[in-house]
Amino acid sequence: MWGRFIFILSLVLLPFEVMAEAEVRKLPQPDKSSELMQLLDKRHSSRSYSNKPVSEQTLSDLLWAAFGINQKGTRTVPTAMNKQNLNVYVVYQNSIWSYDAAANSLIKVSDEEISDYIAKQDFVKDAPVNLIYTGSDKEFSSFHAGAAAQNVYLYATNKGLNTIVRAYIDKDELKDKLHLGREEFVIMNQVIGYPENNF
Ligand SMILES: Cc1cc2nc3c(=O)[nH]c(=O)nc-3n(C[C@H](O)[C@H](O)[C@H](O)COP(=O)(O)O)c2cc1C
Each residue's pLDDT tens digit, 72-112: 999 999 999 999 999 999 999 899 999 999 999 999 999 99
Each residue's pLDDT tens digit, 98-150: 999 999 999 999 999 999 999 999 999 999 999 999 999 999 999 999 999 99
Strands (E), 15-93: 86-92
Q: Is 64 contained in some domain?
A: yes
Question: How many domains does one find in the chain?
Answer: 1
Side-by-side strand order, sheet with 129-135:
105-110, 95-100, 86-92, 129-135, 185-193, 162-166
Beta carbons of 185 and 178 less than 8 angstroms apart: no
Beta carbons of 152 and 66 less than 8 angstroms apart: yes
Each residue's pLDDT tens digit, 45-56: 999 999 999 999
Q: Which among 97, 109, 120 has a CA at the least distance from the CA of 166?
A: 120
Choose between 163 and 199: higher pLDDT. 163
Go through the chain and tell me how many residues it has: 199
Residue nearest to atom 1 of ligand 1 (CA): 167
Pocket of ligand 1 (CB under 6 A): 44-45, 47, 121, 164-168, 188
Q: Which among 192, 60, 197 has a CA at the least distance from the CA of 128?
A: 192
**Cα of 22 from ligand 1 centre, angstroms:** 33
Q: Is 198 contained in some domain?
A: no
The pLDDT, as a whole number, for residue 197 is 76
Beta carbons of 175 and 135 less than 8 angstroms apart: no
**Cα of 8 from ligand 1 centre, angstroms:** 44
Residue nearest to atom 27 of ligand 1 (CA): 44
Q: Is 22 contained in some domain?
A: no
Q: Is 132 contained in some domain?
A: yes
Q: Is 60 contained in some domain?
A: yes
Question: 25-31 — which CB contacts under 8 Å span 24+ positions?
Answer: none
Q: For residue 63, what is the domain's CATH number?
A: 3.40.109.10
What is the C-alpha R_g of the chain?
A: 23
Each residue's pLDDT tens digit, 153-192: 999 999 999 999 999 999 999 999 999 999 999 999 999 9
Q: Is 20 contained in some domain?
A: no
**Cα of 181 from ligand 1 centre, angstroms:** 27
Tell me the torsion sign for CA atoms 117, 122, 123, 127: positive
**Cα of 152 from ligand 1 centre, angstroms:** 14
- Residue-number span of the structural domain to which 54 is assigned: 46-193
Residue nearest to atom 4 of ligand 1 (CA): 166
Q: Is 12 contained in some domain?
A: no
Q: Which among 196, 127, 111, 139 has a CA at the least distance from the CA of 166?
A: 127
Q: Is 140 contained in some domain?
A: yes
Counting ligand 1 atoms within 8 A of each CB, the residue from 45, 49, 133, 168 with the most, and so the one to mutate, is 45
